[in-house]
Structure 1
Amino acid sequence: MKIILVSLDTLRASRLSGYGYGKRTSPHLDAIARDGVLFERAYAADIPTEVAHTGVFTGKIGLTTGVVSHGSDLTHLPKSVEWLPNLLRAAGFTTGAVDNLYQLKEWFARGYNHYINSVGGNRWIDGKKINELAMPWLEQHKDESFFLFLHYWDAHTPYLPPASYVPEFYEAGRDPYDPSNASMEPAYNHTAYPFFKHHHYDLVGNVTDTAYYDALYDAEIRYLDDRLKELDDHLAKLGIREDTLLVLFGDHGESLTEHDIYWDHCGLYEPTVHVPVILRWPGRIAPGRRVPGLVQQADLLPTLLEAVRRESPAGIDAARLADPEDLDGRSLWPAIEGRAEGTRETIYLSECAWQAARGIRNDRYKFIATYDAGPFRRPPRELYDLQEDPHETANLADARPDIADALESQLNAFVAKKLAGRPDPMTEQLERRGLPFRRRIEQILNGAGMTWDAWRRNPDRALFDRAAAGKQHR
């Protein structure tokens, strides 16, 4: 038995043609979905990258593991917490990864016979490099039962796709650097600008048109899609495509100017928390299934363990792969086989990096409670009717306090039950360290001789650029 788990970092579900997007960003992903099952409403319960992947590999949300923040020195995952690669390796699988999450936290390298760190000289990683590292490993282990984790970062900022991919998504004759276009001004004069200037804007150039950034994001997805086709073609060449359970998921999505978020993945809004999940397993998963109900990333671990128990491959001790205790995830197999519409009626959401917030999403409504807005301006309570307002433009918290109060009460009760008297890790993060990404901005501002309070009152791009340039010349 062969399992390939593929993380598609920063891939927003609604930007894929298979999820209804009108542009041709994902022809091969769409083909994989047609040969398998696509989950229409899959969610990242915890965002962003560090907490999302921890949930995937433990089958537990952050309130269970205590891992709720990203980039925090307070975060620790005890080795006693059961971890998917450890479980599979102990059962007899050869385990491998092409990934760089080890750069974030040591636990991401646990359980692998072969951990190939894909980190390079740049902060971003080209999917071509992932394939160059993964394909020889596949050739070496094609005759074994294996688990391989692949982590593609192409859709993550900075968006730097090959130039040939951009024209399909950007209107011909349009000038991305037109000085008369002021659509980028809100992004350039945002409180988060000092961080994105270095990590994004300076690398792309002095763009004036927000539509160009959106086109770059689409082009990155299309480029990623081609890399996935290369991987799939290689599986066919090796003769193992039909034997491989292929699982693809987005760790979180991406906001493209919505809710005052400019090409980043924060906020518990649909662009960031609604993610693609697609599975293909020829002969075991019927093609063409689309699951309409709510599921979450933590469901992947029990789904994979059940798949191994069902298959009982030679040389694998499938009996060792009972579901760990205290799982938040539930097997997707009833939904895959049409016996259920999803795995739950309610998804609980959490973030603690740029902002600190929790949310609850059911079939119709989403409620968000914000505890620290970081560099953003947020009301303490937000309520959206996702049936009538799928883009979350009308906050109904004041107009429908009955619904908002009921959902907030349900959210608070859930948090209290999960903590069971333990300290709240989000509260500890805010009280002891503050928001990790606010601290990053503060460090950048300090380097330019500016303060957070002054900058938050007047986030002026020209002001920061002059201050930063002045410090560099001294």
Structure 2
Amino acid sequence: MATNVLVIQADQFRADCLGVAGNRDVRTPHLDRLAADGVRYRDAYAPFPVCTPSRYSLLSGLHVRQHGGWTNHCTLAPGVETFPRALRGVGYRTAAVGKMHFTPTYLDVGYDHLALAEQHGPGRYDDDYHRELAAAGLAPVTDLVDQEHEFRASAPQSYWDSYGAGRSNLPPQWHSTTWIGERARRELANWTDDGPNLLHVSFIKPHHPFDPPDGWDDAYDPDALTPLPGWTDTIPTADRGHRREYFDYEPLDLPRLRRVMAHYYATITHLDHEVGRLLDLLAERGLYDDTLIVFTADHGEYLGFHHLLLKDGPMYDPIVKVPLLVKFPGRHRAGETSTALVSLIDIAPTVLSTCGLRQAAPLPGNDLTDPAPGHDCVFAEDRRHGVAGMARTGEYKLLWSDVAGEALFDLTADPHELTNVVDDPVHGEALRRLRETVARWALFDATPPTYLDHDAPRRPSVTGGRAARRELFAHAVAEQPHTSC
């Protein structure tokens, strides 16, 4: 019988915000259970700390410099194979639920059916979730104020003071996490016993705003929370150029940070609850043991690291490191913690291998069904503030940027990346080796420009009424001031 595949993805999920990762404050019992049945990869990295580029890398198994999706407003180029398309080609029933962040919104990357819940850009006015919200006379005011420039410009002072942390204005049953979880269960309920099936579930949370719904927002006492490793009382000199990115981080103090953490953790625990319901449904149907299940995120979150929040800044570990849990069919390697360096580009070859498919063309990622050591070096790129990159081994990290220059960190002595040793001759040999590694990696493909095609092939949608929904949501924001923060 063919292997079923369930890929569960979060957005902006810091890798150490799991109980199984040693975090004593956050509660993630269902993800911890998944880790106990599979492999937790302690050192997994995103190839780009931004939603769409990272998602295209997960789907294709390619670095961003290979697939050309450099921004959140881009299209996966024609001819780029994806694991959903490969599985569909051999008879899999393929579906995706939640946030995909494609352009066009219903881009065909290999999913027969899409039930979308987007957050930013035109997708939120095209998708199923916001269409249903509008039909119910509801508007996601908290999210609109945080995400849409036209509304954020007039946000109340409480929004800025709280860094967007507060209760969602939506009823719990209409919160995106609940909606995505419910739609995903509908898809799992339609799985046939003989398969084969692929479902990709992608949650918007814990991406900002940090807005759990009523009933979840008070799950954590801010005063009881401990700042995560890497918190500094002030912004380090090297990072002061990032003090005003999405917010002004200078006023961030421990009480504000703990409030953000409480709401961030609450969105994670809410998400964990929905993941648990998916796992339970698979178990009830007798499909859990033989399903390949992957849990990961598109990128991380600073959450106080170097006195910063969100993801706009240098590619320090909290934003490029991601959670990665893989439960193989038959619970093979159950309970294992791998210290191998791995990347989201490893997911596509792993899915293909587990499902018995050959790669259409050689991929740079590794097949994680092989327990051998991972990459000697993992790479990430960024194009938001000039051309920037990261190369990370087990001992060192090299950051480079045409704006900020180079930074080298000795991760053994300096795990929180506070001391740049790029000019220290003691580390000269490590710097030389990393530069050579980067040069070889950057040469394997010419760097394509951002690919964008609004008329690319897409799956059918029944959205309609984009202008009407936009008008309804704008009216709701004007009539209902953002007070949840």
The offset of 1:34, in angstroms, is 0.7
Q: Which segments of 5 or more consecutive residues in structure 1 lack a partner in the other structure?
A: 175-182, 201-205, 310-320, 373-378, 430-474
Task: Give the structure 1 partner of residue 199 of structure 2.
Answer: 148
Q: Is 1:380 matched up with 2:412?
A: no
| Matching residue within 314, 317, 342 for 1:295 | 342
- Counterpart-to-counterpart distance in 2, 1:191 and 1:302: 36
Alpha-carbon displacement from aligned partner over 1:317-360 (angstroms, at most 9, x marks no partner): xxxx311214111101111xxxx1x3211111211235641011
- Counterpart-to-counterpart distance in 1, 2:419 and 2:235: 24
| Matching residue within 429, 439, 445 for 1:413 | 439
Task: Give the structure 1 partner of residue 72 of structure 2.
Answer: 71
* SS of equivalent to 1:63: helix
Task: Give the structure 2 partner of residue 469 of structure 1.
Answer: none
- Counterpart-to-counterpart distance in 1, 2:41 and 2:442: 29
Alpha-carbon displacement from aligned partner over 1:49-108 (angstroms, at most 9, x marks no partner): 1111111111111122222x2234xx4432211111111001110000103325545585
Task: Give the structure 2 partner of residue 465 of structure 1.
Answer: none
Alpha-carbon displacement from aligned partner over 1:240-267 (angstroms, at most 9, x marks no partner): 2223211111211101232453233543
- Counterpart-to-counterpart distance in 1, 2:108 and 2:312: 24
User: Is the deviation greater in 25-34 or in 265-274?
Assistant: 265-274
Q: Relative to structure 1, is the Cα distance of residues 228 and 84 closer, same or farther in structure 2, using a 3 angstrom cutoff?
A: same
* SS of equivalent to 2:207: coil
Q: Relative to structure 1, is the Cα distance of residues 76 and 209 closer, same or farther in structure 2, using a 3 angstrom cutoff?
A: closer
The offset of 1:194, in angstroms, is 7.7
Q: Relative to structure 1, is the Cα distance of residues 254 and 191 closer, same or farther in structure 2, using a 3 angstrom cutoff?
A: closer
Kindly indicate whether the alpha-carbon contact (under 8 Å) linking 1:365 and 1:385 is maintained by their aligned counterparts in 2. yes
Structure-to-structure mapping, 1:454-469, within 5 angstroms: none
Query: If each structure's helix is expressed as a fraction of its own residues, which one has the higher value?
Result: 1
1:358 alignment partner AA: G
- Counterpart-to-counterpart distance in 2, 1:359 and 1:196: 24
2:296 alignment partner AA: F
Q: Is 1:101 matched up with 2:127?
A: no
| Matching residue within 343, 351, 370 for 2:374 | 343
Structure-to-structure mapping, 1:281-292, within 5 angstroms: 281-292=328-339
The offset of 1:26, in angstroms, is 1.6
| Matching residue within 213, 216, 220 for 1:162 | 213
Q: Is 1:330 matched up with 2:366?
A: yes
The offset of 1:109, in angstroms, is 3.5
* SS of equivalent to 2:41: strand
Kindly indicate whether the alpha-carbon contact (under 8 Å) linking 2:50 and 2:299 is maintained by their aligned counterparts in 1. yes
Q: Is 1:235 matched up with 2:282?
A: yes
- Counterpart-to-counterpart distance in 1, 2:102 and 2:62: 22
Kindly indicate whether the alpha-carbon contact (under 8 Å) linking 1:9 and 1:155 is maintained by their aligned counterparts in 2. yes
* SS of equivalent to 1:209: helix
Task: Give the structure 1 partner of residue 422 of structure 2.
Answer: 397
The offset of 1:17, in angstroms, is 1.8
The offset of 1:404, in angstroms, is 6.3
1:364 alignment partner AA: E
Q: Relative to structure 1, is the Cα distance of residues 227 and 370 closer, same or farther in structure 2, using a 3 angstrom cutoff?
A: same
- Counterpart-to-counterpart distance in 1, 2:67 and 2:102: 20
Q: Relative to structure 1, is the Cα distance of residues 263 and 281 closer, same or farther in structure 2, using a 3 angstrom cutoff?
A: same
- Counterpart-to-counterpart distance in 2, 1:185 and 1:291: 33
2:196 alignment partner AA: S
* SS of equivalent to 1:383: strand
Q: Say which structure, 1 or 2, has more relative contact order (CA 8 Å, 6+ apart).
A: 2
Q: Relative to structure 1, is the Cα distance of residues 173 and 157 closer, same or farther in structure 2, using a 3 angstrom cutoff?
A: closer
The offset of 1:158, in angstroms, is 0.3
User: TM-score scaled to structure 1, two decimals?
Assistant: 0.73
Kindly indicate whether the alpha-carbon contact (under 8 Å) linking 2:223 and 2:255 is maintained by their aligned counterparts in 1. no
Q: Relative to structure 1, is the Cα distance of residues 255 and 355 closer, same or farther in structure 2, using a 3 angstrom cutoff?
A: farther
Q: Is 1:251 matched up with 2:252?
A: no
Kindly indicate whether the alpha-carbon contact (under 8 Å) linking 2:46 and 2:320 is maintained by their aligned counterparts in 1. yes
Alpha-carbon displacement from aligned partner over 1:109-139 (angstroms, at most 9, x marks no partner): 4211111122425458622111111112221
1:50 alignment partner AA: T
2:439 alignment partner AA: A
